[in-house]
Structure 1
């Protein structure tokens, strides 16, 4: 027996564009947990993540007319959440340090990877990373941004994004091996 799906995500978005509160609440309910988790991974603070998510939904609903289905609503909203989270971190002066001016150079050496890594250790390791490293790891590994996108979002060069990612990954492996 086929169920009749009354509201698709697109229908909810279109109704929300007209100010339909019930549709806005349904969209909120569909996405709030995922957006909270995204912000929490970046900020590391529950209260800050809650604030960012609320602000993101307010901005999304105010600017819903500009949503043109170039991506899914969830991807569009996630970008708002990530940008707001990054701006919040920038305001707190937690920045990515450019490696271009330092004598450190990365080689093509790969960090030895363990055969089986406990996911709890990885999560603990990410939490133990310095803020800038944590930000790069979250954007690249968890959120799926490439180095060009990370560079745009953080206002750094692609090479800085890559070098920070490699240094963060190396540090993460050290932390995990020490757990």
Structure 2
């Protein structure tokens, strides 16, 4: 029987399930798994502001965003044993916040229009963006003026970095709907900014 030398063995690439992310807050997460209240407070302190910003961008109401944030943290601490390190803790928590915010919008009866049967929208039209003075406050105010469905797609795509396939899955719509909503939201946002 021949034995292969160690040099001839090629390492196999890791599958997505095998990939673990190095998370600088992992010791706090482990302490939270043990029920350590101080660790839970520290996790809350570290992530609350960023997660609140995610929630308020989606629900567009600070009081409702605070409720979403509290519910999301409760969910996270109750389900912390389900965190498998396939992403950072912050990314896992952000997904919980986004799901809570979207559920909140659904409870508000926000309709995410499924327009699969609508005629295909041409590729993004070009708009005169040069004439628009863009500053952060004006853009934030303009985003807040968008209807909930448009605002959600804009926030998830531009601000949170999700692609249309992920947005479609999160929102429970077709990928083409996400793309179309984004194009229409961007057009409406530009119209608001031109005023």
Q: Does 1:19 align with 2:35?
A: yes
Equivalent residue number for residue 183 of structure 2 = 166
SS at match of 2:141: helix
Deviation at 1:104, TM superposition (A): 6.1
SS at match of 2:186: helix
What stretches of structure 1 of length at least 5 have no aligned partner? 1-7
TM-score (norm 2): 0.83
Deviation at 1:38, TM superposition (A): 0.7
State how 1:89-168 maps to structure 2 within 5 Å: 89-103=105-119, 105-114=121-130, 116-168=133-185
For residue 70 of structure 2, the aligned residue among 54, 58, 62 is 54
Deviation at 1:108, TM superposition (A): 4.2
Equivalent residue number for residue 3 of structure 1 = none
For residue 86 of structure 2, the aligned residue among 50, 59, 70 is 70
After the TM superposition, which of the residue ranges 12-21 and 98-107 deviates more from structure 2?
98-107
Q: Does 1:87 align with 2:103?
A: yes
TM-score (norm 1): 0.90
Q: Which has the higher helix share?
A: 1
What stretches of structure 2 of length at least 5 have no aligned partner? 1-23
Runs of 4+ in 1 over 3 A off after TM superposition: none
